[in-house]
Amino acid sequence: MIRIGHGFDVHAFTEGRPLIIGGLTIPHEKGLAGHSDADVLLHTIADAILGALALGDIGKFFPDTDDAFKDMDSKVLLGEVVRKMNEERYEIGNVDAVIMAEAPKFRPHIDAMRESVASILKTQVSNVNIKATTTEKLGFVGRAEGITSEAVVLLTKMEEY
Ligand SMILES: Nc1ccn([C@@H]2O[C@H](COP(=O)(O)O)[C@@H](O)[C@H]2O)c(=O)n1
Ligand SMILES: C[C@@]1(CO)OP(=O)(O)OP(=O)(O)OC[C@H]1O
């Protein structure tokens, strides 16, 4: 049994916060605004997994009106979604994600990001692909107002012994 899910998220740039993407702090002059640490990539992957399981979205489980999730580490958030996925007896088949940002350049960080995401997802690095693109200076991403990300995940049913 396999299930597919799609995730999408956007966060605006802001001064005075670190840029945290894929669980890593990426050197940049601005970070992202959010109720949590605003890790747009991990939120996207969490939403894709919840989508595949028809469980809704991250706002349902981690409302941005709840102080408990203020400045939350999104590695914990995604870890909790992975726990729900395993509870439903599913595991990651593969993930393919894209980060859309005018800057910074993510390519030097992609391998470390894949390791970080794979470890949270409890899967092999070869099951995680992360891409980056600009939007050729078009739109809010092109004006460097924020970062957006999309992902698709395939989940596979765990073998029963
Ligand atoms: N924030 C980004 C954006 C892009 N890259 C890498 O550059 C390649 C070319 O991007 P274009 O948007 O000009 O097509 C892209 O394929 C990525 O490898 C990046 O690292 N960080
Ligand atoms: C993660 C949560 C909760 O702290 O906050 P944000 O960092 O604002 O992220 P978003 O992707 O807008 O939605 C999910 C929120 O509930």
Which H, E and C letters describe the chain, residue by residue?
A: CEEEEEEEEEEEEECCCCEEECCEEECCCCEECCCCCCCHHHHHHHHHHHHHCCCCCHHHHCCCCCHHHCCCCHHHHHHHHHHHHHHCCEEEEEEEEEEECCCCCCHHHHHHHHHHHHHHHCCCHHHEEEEEECCCCCHHHHCCCEEEEEEEEEEEECCCC
* CATH 3.30.1330.50 describes domain 2-157: yes
Whether 35 lines ligand 2, by a CB cut-off of 6 Å, is yes
| Predicted-complex ipTM score | 0.91
Q: Assess whether pLDDT exceeds 70 at residue 57.
A: yes
Q: What is the pLDDT of residues 62-81, one digit of tens each?
A: 999 999 999 999 999 999 99
Cβ of residue 139 lying under 6 Å from some atom of ligand 2: no
Q: Residue 132 C-alpha to ligand 1 middle, in angstroms? A: 5
Is 63 close to ligand 2, i.e. is its CB under 6 Å away? yes
Q: Map out the domains of the chain as residue ranges.
A: 2-157
For residue 85, the CA-to-ligand 1 centroid distance in Å is: 31
The pLDDT of residue 97 is 99
The answer on pLDDT for 161 being more than 90 is: no
